[in-house]
């Protein structure tokens, strides 16, 4: 899926962690039921065999805590390799990884203190213990004090005063200088500190780019095998894993960026699993293939347009609001995801999605396209139409690049619809797409875009939004800045009462609508299909993605 993670380090998944609700299931050729930790045990499976997954994005690197690697293409690969203290389940509950951890408990509220106890046998595949050193690197890299570290965000880590190891570094005591309600979002996908620190160019280089070509060690059920850029990546069982051994011998990621090729690859048994951005023809084709299971869900991700607020023209809030008013989101919805799910709805919130109890539609002013209101805004701000029908001011026309992932038929349709709507309004749009690796790994982090269309993939933690919309946030690709919003995030992130926290984040979202930092389009559905020969596969429509329990997959 072409998306970025909305992370508390930073779901663009993207790229990176924030919410809580139940997924809505949809029908396919038989519905796969994911095995939920704590509610049922994985089904019995054979030992041995392999599965090939059609990946529509090639990973940009393998440290998902960096801004350039903060995407679902990276998370999917790294899910069975890097350790996380807590894991979001398919029902969006958050549970401790009991293979890795003995416990993680709040021992004091003033100052807020969390004590983590790592299992004594937890170790990396090279025999080095998983320890306080790994926690410490996560904090030092992401606490915002050293700008040499490339990070997707600093949220939560910047609130920590100290990370101290004891008991041979198997006990980690984290003391916060500022209360942080979503502490369970921290210490997720921890890279090996001993590898980063051994980098000849320094620990910062080890963190930033040292894992670009692979992850040399593992603390999960799989480890790196063979990586052939532009072709495939293979994970193999990690026999040194301290938890239950993976039934499968290997998991192969075959890179098929053209989503239209995936049904044929599935039909021909070239791949046994796909997780594409769903689109009508693709879903229809897959549902007609015998021997498959599939499901459609609405989880914690949403499609949107991000505005680069440093682009001339888009630095004017009146222009951004006019674009939003001139965008017929309902028409886009009907031409795209509503064609295969009647549960699809436009979205009026950036923090919460439609099926979350905290959701409030804060974008009612933009519910319907209003060209007259958009025109009034533009002309009131001093723009006038030229002979070519395009608005301009001081001789500079409103002409912008729209960038998304190339090869994605749904997004390409979406882009053409948006371009047509803007042409009618008097704004020129030029389609400027890139392969996902270029868009997410290079262009977005460097601000090389005007308007970007992608999806944020989230988790049950709203505090992660600070990385997206706070000044200097690692995933704030549009360079939006509002000191009042920064203060609102700081205050909201420290609220421990859930109801009051939701109220505070909805107030933030209202300001983001007023500033039109981005335009939410719709809650994004996920679609998974796989061979019925396999067991324990199922969707997890949060930032964890479908590989959340890859260590349990196997042949029936």
Torsion of CA 78, 81, 83, 84, to 10 degrees: 30
468 domain residue, yes or no: yes
Report if residue 356 sits inside a domain.
Answer: yes
Strand 273-274, strand 50-55: pairing? parallel
**pLDDT score recorded for residue 40:** 56
Give yes or no for a contact between 71 and 13, defined as CB atoms under 8 angstroms apart.
Answer: yes
CB half-sphere exposure, 276, CA atoms < 13 A: 32
**DSSP β-bridge partners for residue 104:** 116
Question: Does residue 470 lie in a domain region?
Answer: yes
Could you tell me which of 175, 227, 217, 221 has the C-alpha nearest to residue 196? Answer: 217
Are the CB atoms for 421 and 469 separated by under 8 Å?
no
In our burial notation (b when 16+ CB lie closer than 10 A, e otherwise), range 57-89 reads bbbbbbbbbbbbbbbbbbbbbbbbbbbbbbbbb
Half-sphere CA count of 179, side-chain side, radius 13 A: 13
* DSSP code at position 278: P
Is 253 a member of any domain?
no
Distance, in Å, from the CA atom of 13 to the CA atom of 541, rounded to the nearest integer, reads 12
Question: Phi/psi at 251 (nearest 5 deg)?
Answer: -130, 125
In contact, 115 and 105? CB cutoff 8 Å: yes
Could you say which residues of the chain have pLDDT below 50? 1-2, 5-39
Cα distances (angstroms) measured from residue 367 to each of 10, 141, 326, 452, 515: 29, 41, 11, 21, 16
Confirm whether 149 is domain-assigned: no
- Burial per residue of 464-488, b for 16 or more beta-carbon CB atoms within 10 angstroms, e otherwise: bbbbbbbeebbbbbbbbbbeebbeb
Give the whole-angstrom CA distance, residue 487 versus residue 142. 19
- The angle formed by the CA atoms of residues 282, 283 and 288, to the nearest 5 degrees, is 100
**Which residue stretches of 338-392 are H helix?**
371-380
Domain total in the chain: 1
- Shortest CA distance to 526 belongs to which of 282, 179, 240, 230? 282
User: For residue 88, is it within any domain?
Assistant: no
CATH of the domain at 440: 3.10.105.10
Distance between first and last Cα of the chain: 27
Rounded to whole angstroms, how far apart are CA atoms 181 and 112?
10
> Is residue 238 situated within a structural domain?
no
Structural domain boundaries enclosing 392: 299-525
pLDDT digits (tens, 9 = 90+) for 41-80: 899 999 999 999 999 889 999 999 999 998 889 999 999 9
Question: CA-based angle 67:202:132, to the nearest 5?
Answer: 75
Omega before residue 236 within 30° of 0, cis: no
Region of residue 229 (phi > 0: left; psi between -120 and 50: alpha; otherwise: beta): beta
In a domain, 123, yes or no: no
Residue ranges with strand state E in 333-422: 384-385, 391-393, 396-397, 399-403
**Residues 527/348/480/455 CA torsion (nearest 10 deg):** 10
Considering only CA atoms, which of 30, 90, 88 is closest in space to residue 540? 90
The CA dihedral of 398, 436, 7, 91, to the nearest 10 degrees, is 110
């Amino acid at each position: 899926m072409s998306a970025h993670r909305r992370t508390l380090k930073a779901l663009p998944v993207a790229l990176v962690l924030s919410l809580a609700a139940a997924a809505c299931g949809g029908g396919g050729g038989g519905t796969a039921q994911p095995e939920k930790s704590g509610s049922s045990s994985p089904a019995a499976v054979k030992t041995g065999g392999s599965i090939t997954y059609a990946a529509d994005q090639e990973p940009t690197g393998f440290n998902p805590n960096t801004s350039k690697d903060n995407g679902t293409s990276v998370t999917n690969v790294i899910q069975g390799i890097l350790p996380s203290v807590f894991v979001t389940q398919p029902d969006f509950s958050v549970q401790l990884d009991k293979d890795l951890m003995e416990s993680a408990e709040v021992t004091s509220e003033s100052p807020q203190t969390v004590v983590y106890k790592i299992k004594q046998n937890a170790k990396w595949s090279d025999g080095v213990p998983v320890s306080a050193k790994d926690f410490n690197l996560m904090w030092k890299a992401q606490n915002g004090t050293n700008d040499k570290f490339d990070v997707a965000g600093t949220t939560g880590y910047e609130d920590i005063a100290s990370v101290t190891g004891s008991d041979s570094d198997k006990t980690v005591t984290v003391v916060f200088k500022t209360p942080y309600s979503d502490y369970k979002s921290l210490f997720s996908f921890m890279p090996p500190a001993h590898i980063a620190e051994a980098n000849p160019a320094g620990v910062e280089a080890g963190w930033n780019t040292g894992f670009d070509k692979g992850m040399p060690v593992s603390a999960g059920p799989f480890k790196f095998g063979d990586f052939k850029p532009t072709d495939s990546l293979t994970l193999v069982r990690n026999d040194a894993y301290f938890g239950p051994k993976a039934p499968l011998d290997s998991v192969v990621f075959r890179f098929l960026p053209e989503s239209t090729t995936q049904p044929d690859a599935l039909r021909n048994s070239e791949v046994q699993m796909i997780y594409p951005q769903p689109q009508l023809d693709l879903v229809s084709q897959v549902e007609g293939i015998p021997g498959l299971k599939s499901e459609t869900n609405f989880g914690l991700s949403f499609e949107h347009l991000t505005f680069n607020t440093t682009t001339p023209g888009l630095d004017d809030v009146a222009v951004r609001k006019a674009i939003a008013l001139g965008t017929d989101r309902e028409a886009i919805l009907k031409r795209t995801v509503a064609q295969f799910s009647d549960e699809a709805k436009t979205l009026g919130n950036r923090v919460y999605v439609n099926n979350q109890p905290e959701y409030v539609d804060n974008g009612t002013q933009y519910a319907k396209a209003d060209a007259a209101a958009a025109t009034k805004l533009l002309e009131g701000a001093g723009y006038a139409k030229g002979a070519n029908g395009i608005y301009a001011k001081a001789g500079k026309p409103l002409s912008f690049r729209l960038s998304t992932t190339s090869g994605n038929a749904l997004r390409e349709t979406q882009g053409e619809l948006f371009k047509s709507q803007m042409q009618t309004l008097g704004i020129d749009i030029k389609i400027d797409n890139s392969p996902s690796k270029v868009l997410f790994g290079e262009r977005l982090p460097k601000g090389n875009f005007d308007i970007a269309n992608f999806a944020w993939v989230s988790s049950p933690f709203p505090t992660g939004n600070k990385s997206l919309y706070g000044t200097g946030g690692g995933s704030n690709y549009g360079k939006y800045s509002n000191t009042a919003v920064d203060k609102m995030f700081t205050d909201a992130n420290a609220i421990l009462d859930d109801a009051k926290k939701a109220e505070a984040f909805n107030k933030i979202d209202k300001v983001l609508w007023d500033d039109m930092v981005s335009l939410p389009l719709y809650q994004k559905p996920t679609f998974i299909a796989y061979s019925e020969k396999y067991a324990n596969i199922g969707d997890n429509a949060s930032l964890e993605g479908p590989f959340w329990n890859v260590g349990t997959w196997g042949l029936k």
